[in-house]
Chains A and B, each alone.
Chain A
């Protein structure tokens, strides 16, 4: 059975975050190309321009190099008022020293953004725009309407979907796209639908904002994202991200709790990056859920799940995954149809590809965690990166592995393949060897 979108078909999008806005934008762009007129209603009760938690979709707010490049190729360029900072390097801090990995040509290839307007104590005259509000506006310029209401339930009548909002407003749609993230919203509003869909597995992350003022941010962090490999148990990824007047702390790991956050904030490497008089509580903090494993059956007739509610990338580039799933769902809906069969054949492979890559990502992060436990291994990493960064040209084997692991700019499969390259392994082994030898020498010198 094939169900199609025709002239005057109506589409409901639940959630106006990046996935919902990308979907609406691309659906309307493609519809325009093939000459059909659609009505697209985005149900989003939040005002993303409101400072603090009420307007925020809570995440570290890093837009990867690959997403920036793909959006530019699509004709979507991020204005400087939305990008809080262009990033051209990552500084990696370890207990044994630090190293800097720069983007090719020192180009600012990564953007840091606020999903909402910014933290709750944002100054009123800050000329900043929310990333989510910017994307929603792009979708609306294409013709989508924002309906500032929360969807309460969805029911099927004669194959089409009736969407009822909290105010009692009720309308029939030919397609409904769920882009409601990981908040349990999807399961709640679709409870009566008898779907095979199972929500993704998620875990808790931690985001904290420090209001330092632009000058202090410039002085202490610059246009660099600071990554910490400190061998703190259960901590998979930790970074300080500069944004305008603020620094965003982002922690990802298993069972993040106060002890882990304290251990991180009190480590000498973190203290060195922040001013001494900083209030460790920060001005805004949250524990948002972060995607770990894909949803099951993220589609049905006239219904598709995108973004975090279907498949996302492990720990990194969630917005890049939102773009990919949104685009795949939009192209399927326009060129193939909106039946479960259509989505299974033409949309679902994109989700499976992301999930398959995440399995390799788990190995990459596992190797990263293991390396942090060994002083010689970390010393070897620093040695190899320092050598690569100090010369012009030549293979950037460790630098590119680290850059892509931290930035989420390449598929994990690519990163893993580079880690298995014989030249990478032999160079790294030699650097670990030299590191171990020099540390023995240092120890001997001390003893004599």
Chain B
């Protein structure tokens, strides 16, 4: 089935996005998992099939906030900023799914912030 796979394959530990780099795209995971790491030590998230990363580059002109590396074999598809923003301009509802995921991330973040407080 390998010949039908889309995107690019990375193997264990390979860096897909490097913290500090300036790029104009986001990524969607087609198969496998990635680890989002900040400053080389703090794991912010583990993401899997259907999740995306690097989406901040679409909305802010700032360098990558974290490094994303492959956990085992992973296949990711690039989504170019220009193509996506042009289509969002034509069809704003295209952004719904991205906003939904971002909103879920804010919810998860709130929860993780609330947890240590309640534990204390």
Contact = CB atoms under 8 A, between A and B. Distances in A.
Are A and B interaction partners?
yes
Contact of A80 (B2, B78, B79, B97): B2
Nearest to B88: A73
Interface string B88-106: 0011011011100000000
Listed residue (B5, B6, B8) with the most chain A CB atoms within 10 angstroms of its CB = B6
B4 A83 contact: yes
B5 A83 contact: yes
A223 interface: yes
A30 B93 contact: yes
Contact of B30 (A33, A77, A82, A328): A77
Contacts of B96: 33
A261 interface: no
A418 interface: no
Contacts of A81: 1, 4
B1 A107 contact: no
A69 B84 contact: yes
A83 B3 CA distance: 8
Contacts of B79: 69, 72-73
Measured as residues with beta carbon below 8 angstroms from the partner, the interface class of chain A is 35 or more
Listed residue (A77, A214, A409) with the most chain B CB atoms within 10 angstroms of its CB = A77
B93 A111 contact: no
B84 A331 contact: no
A353 B91 CA distance: 13
B62 interface: no
A66 to B, nearest CB: 5
Contact of A69 (B3, B49, B83, B98): B83
Contacts of A218: 3
Contacts of B91: 324, 327-328, 331
Interface in B68-84: 77-80, 83-84
A26 B96 CA distance: 11
Interface string A71-87: 01111011011111110
A108 B78 CA distance: 10
A243 B52 CA distance: 28
B7 A75 contact: no
B85 to A, nearest CB: 11
B1 A108 contact: no
A84 B93 contact: no
Interface in B1-49: 1-8, 28, 30, 49
Listed residue (A30, A72, A84, A106) with the most chain B CB atoms within 10 angstroms of its CB = A72
A69 B30 CA distance: 12
B107 interface: no
B5 to A, nearest CB: 5
A214 B97 CA distance: 37
Interface residues of B, number: 27
A321 B49 CA distance: 27
Interface string A222-253: 01000000000000000000001000000000
Given A72-B28, A73-B84, A105-B8, A80 B50 contact: no
B78 A127 contact: no
B94 A84 contact: no
B94 A107 contact: no
Nearest to B79: A69
Contacts of B49: 77
Interface in A332-364: 350, 353
Contact of A85 (B4, B7, B30, B97): B4
Interface in A380-425: 409-410
A172 B49 CA distance: 41
Contacts of A77: 28, 30, 49-50, 77
A193 B93 CA distance: 32
B93 A70 contact: no
A108 B84 contact: no
Nearest to A331: B93
B5 A69 contact: no
A70 B84 contact: yes
B103 to A, nearest CB: 12
Interface in A281-326: 324
A73 B100 CA distance: 11
Interface string A9-44: 000000000000000001000100100000000000
B97 A75 contact: yes
Given A69-B77, A73-B98, A74-B97, A107 B4 contact: no
A82 B49 CA distance: 16
A80 B8 contact: no
Contact of B94 (A70, A109, A111, A214): A70
B60 to A, nearest CB: 17
A81 to B, nearest CB: 6
A3 interface: no
17 contacts: A26-B93, A68-B77, A69-B79, A69-B80, A70-B83, A73-B28, A73-B94, A74-B97, A75-B50, A77-B50, A85-B3, A86-B3, A86-B5, A105-B78, A108-B8, A223-B3, A328-B91
Interface of B: 1-8, 28, 30, 49-50, 52, 77-80, 83-84, 87, 90-91, 93-94, 96-98
